[in-house]
Each structure stands twice: as C-alpha cells, then as structure tokens.
Amino acid sequence: MTFISHRIEKIMEPEMALMSLRSKEMENRGLDVINLSLGEPDFSTPDYIKEAGVSAIRQNFSHYPPIQGYVELRKAISEKLKRENGLTFSPEQIVVSNGAKQALANVLFSVVNPGDEVIIPTPYWATYIEMVKMVEGVSVLVRTSLESQFKMSASQLEAVISHKTKVVLINSPSNPSGAVYSKEELMELVAVLQRYPDIIVLSDEIYELITYTENHQSIASLPGMKGRVAIVNGVSKGFAMTGWRIGFSASSQEIAEACVKVQSQYTSGACSIAQMAALAAYTHPLDESMAMQKAFKMRRDLVVKMAQTIPNLKIMEPEGAFYLFPDVSSYFGCEWEGKVIETATDLSMFLLHKAMVATVTGEAFGEPLCIRISYALSDDRLKEAMIRIKDALALLK
C-alpha cells in the first residue's frame, strides 16, 4: 500500500540534481570531481544588490509582502521591459514569484485544462514536461536537431497544432542547447501563430542577459502577439542571484490575475528581502551583468575550441546561456573494460567515473544523442575538465 498520489508517482526527479548529488558523494570520498552539471553562475551576487538586501533588513522589510509583489519592484520590471525589450506591460500585469520556476508553474496552472496540449520543442528544460504533467496537460514534443541548430521551424510548429493546442512554449536563449532564435526565425513562427488566435505563447527568457550574438529578441515584441504572450524571467542567471529566488511573469491582465490566485494558495508573496535586492538589480546599470556575460563568452570560446579537438564529437557553438550540448552518438557501441556505451546516459556515467567530470545526459532534456556540459566554472577547471573528457573518450574503442 502506498499513500503517495498517482500524480506524484508520475513526476520524475531532475537528472541535473541527481548528477550533482552523485558528484558531491564522490567529492565527500576525497575524489577530485569537476562538476559541469550545474545550471548556475559561479559568480557572486554584485555588491550593490547585496547591500540592498542588507538595507531592507535594517529597514524592517520583515512582514508579509503583497502576493503579487511590491509595487515598486513591479514598476521597475515594467520599466525594464519597456526600456530593454520595447514591451508595454503595466505593473498590474506583472506577478513576482519565488523564482522563474514558480512563475512558469503559475502560468501553466492558470491556462491549461486537463487534456490541453502544450507544444514543446526538444531539447527542453526537463521541468517543463513535469509541470505539464502536474497541470494534467499533454506535452507535444517537436524534435529538433543539431543540424537545425536545435530550433523549431514554422513548418514543424504548424504540423503539430491541433484543436487541443493551448500553449506553445519557447525558451530562448535555450537550456540546454544554447540556441537563440533570431527575430526572423521568431517572425516565421508568429506567421503560423497568427492563424491560431486561441493559442498562448509561454516565453521563458531567463537567460536573456547571457546572449552572445545580437540583442535578445522577445517574441512578445513582434506584431500580432500583444496579449498572447506570457513572459517568464527573473534575476537568477543574469544577476547571479539563484539563491535569492525572485522571478516574474508578465502577461495579459486576465492571466496575471489568475497567477495571483494560484500563488496566493501555494506560497503567497516572494521573500520581502529578496524583492528589495531584485529592485536594485532592475534599477541599476547592467555593467556587472555585462561583465559576467563577457566572461561566459570567453569560457564558451574556450570550451568550444577544446571540444573541436575531440574526435567524433559533434558540436554547435552556443549563442546564449552557458551550456555546450554536443552530439555524442558516435561513441554509442564503443566499449571500455567490457562495458558497452549504449546511450548518452551511459556516456555521462562513464565520464563521471572515469574522467571524474559530471555532465548531464541529454535524455533528461528529450535529446538522447547529446550530453549537457555547463561552462559556468573557472577557466582552469574548464580546461582540466575538457582534457579529462578528451582523454577518457580516447579510451573507448
């Protein structure tokens, strides 16, 4: 007999967390493991943001905050969206949450009915699939490939739209692939969506400030999309504030009010101190965020250059985020000490135990041919990790 609900039994634990736990257990045994499984900047939160948090404590921001978020912060986010993205969302259309993950869940709970379909291009952030299960929706996966730069085409989108389609979920820059949709590519998707006015776009833009090509382009800024896009973003990646747990959604008034209703019953408002720190992040110049972006670009160039020297590793140069997502299928069927590498999961575990480098299997992201390598680590550790990976892969025959 079990007391656990069927709903929970269907939900999977994130492979990223499990791999990080495995590497931590090895580290506790005294092994020198290089953890490239984490999706977290290794930088510290900028001092001006930390000081804002300290000041909030001293000013006694220690009472329940509004469920929707402090109006000062929502105004700052509204101004940021206008200033940096050319978008008009009133403070009433913005809901501050406990991280972007909660903002995503709020939107899905607010708009998806049981049986509604949510179109998700692969590779995807693993939590998307589990969230859709939680709201009793149906994930419709669109398989992309390294050859298409892991981007969904307009024809692929059109092919999977049905009378049950409720949401199209877009993540640009992408975790795990690092793909970034250009304005032209987004316009092609919009041309399809304009024929289906009842479909909502959920745009996950959490890696907005870690883009290496052109300025970030939000699908919400394109003609015909006003009122049809719910944007999710936050301070975790661009401001190195993962532990502060502040994200937000910006959507139509109707969806925003529904998100407030959902959040009011789950958590109420986000941490008062963290909100004041986020206010500083959104009202100061982006100099330190741009310095982090520059460092990530240099690390990307380093990792890509070293990966290109590894035989049979197929790679795409990431245009955003801080992940390399190589196709490792050429190693399937190879052996080491009698053990056959049959899947990306096998290869990821081989690298953990032989090279002592933690990566994440692409199977966790809906792409069974790849593994994810995070380069949110110092240059020295990245160099050492790539050398270890190359040496270990050379052993496979």
Each residue of 340-349: pLDDT tens digit? Answer: 999 999 999 9
Whether the pLDDT of residue 14 is over 80: the answer is no
Across the chain, what does the average pLDDT equal?
96
Vertex 237, ends 257 and 124: CA angle to 5°? 75
Burial of 39 from C-beta contacts in 10 A (0-12 / 13-18 / 19+): buried
Record the pTM.
0.96
Pair 41, 242: CB distance under 8 Å: yes
Q: Closest Cα to residue 278, out of 27, 113, 17, 45?
A: 45
* Cα first-last separation, the chain: 47
> How crowded is residue 97: how many other Cβ atoms within 10 Å of its Cβ?
29
CA 209/CA 207 separation, integer angstroms: 6
Q: Closest Cα to residue 202, out of 338, 68, 111?
A: 111
Q: Is the dihedral of CA 381, 384, 387, 388 positive or negative?
A: negative
Q: Closest Cα to residue 351, out of 34, 13, 52?
A: 34
Q: Render pLDDT for 117-131 as a digit per residue (tens, 0 to 9).
A: 999 999 999 999 999
Q: Render pLDDT for 254-270 as a digit per residue (tens, 0 to 9).
A: 999 999 999 999 999 99
Q: Render pLDDT for 356-384 as a digit per residue (tens, 0 to 9).
A: 999 999 999 999 999 999 999 999 999 99
CA 397/CA 245 separation, integer angstroms: 45
What the block records as the tokens of 331 is 């190693």
Pair 172, 320: CB distance under 8 Å: yes
Peptide bond preceding 173 in cis form (omega within 30 of 0): yes
- pLDDT range class, residue 224, cuts 50, 70, 90: very high
CA 378/CA 115 separation, integer angstroms: 45
CA 184/CA 191 separation, integer angstroms: 11
Q: Closest Cα to residue 232, out of 89, 90, 101, 92?
A: 101
pLDDT at 291: 98
- pLDDT range class, residue 350, cuts 50, 70, 90: very high
Length of the chain: 397
The DSSP secondary structure of 29-92, one letter per residue, reads TT---EE----S--SPPPHHHHHHHHHHHHTT--SPPPTT--HHHHHHHHHHHHHHH-----GG
Q: Render pLDDT for 301-334 as a digit per residue (tens, 0 to 9).
A: 999 999 999 999 999 999 999 999 999 999 999 9
- pLDDT range class, residue 13, cuts 50, 70, 90: confident
Q: Render pLDDT for 141-156 as a digit per residue (tens, 0 to 9).
A: 999 999 999 999 999 9
CA 66/CA 64 separation, integer angstroms: 7
Half-sphere exposure in the Cβ direction for 132 (13 Å, CA): 22
pLDDT at 256: 98
- pLDDT range class, residue 94, cuts 50, 70, 90: very high
Alpha helix stretches (DSSP H) within the chain: 6-9, 15-28, 47-58, 71-85, 100-111, 127-134, 154-160, 183-193, 253-266, 272-283, 287-307, 344-350, 379-393
Domains delineated in the chain: 6-44+288-392 (3.90.1150.10), 61-284 (3.40.640.10)
- pLDDT range class, residue 214, cuts 50, 70, 90: confident
CA 84/CA 186 separation, integer angstroms: 18
CA 381/CA 374 separation, integer angstroms: 12
CA 300/CA 150 separation, integer angstroms: 17
pLDDT at 37: 92
pLDDT at 213: 86
CA 76/CA 90 separation, integer angstroms: 10
**Residue partners of 82: CB distance under 8 A and separation at least 6:** 88
3-state DSSP helix/strand/coil percent for the chain, to nearest 5?
45, 15, 40
Q: Which of 10-14, 162-166, 256-260, 328-332 has the lowest mean pLDDT?
A: 10-14
Pair 393, 357: CB distance under 8 Å: no
Strands 247-250 and 323-324: unpaired
Whether the pLDDT of residue 6 is over 90: the answer is no
Average pLDDT over residues 204-217: 93
Pair 382, 303: CB distance under 8 Å: yes
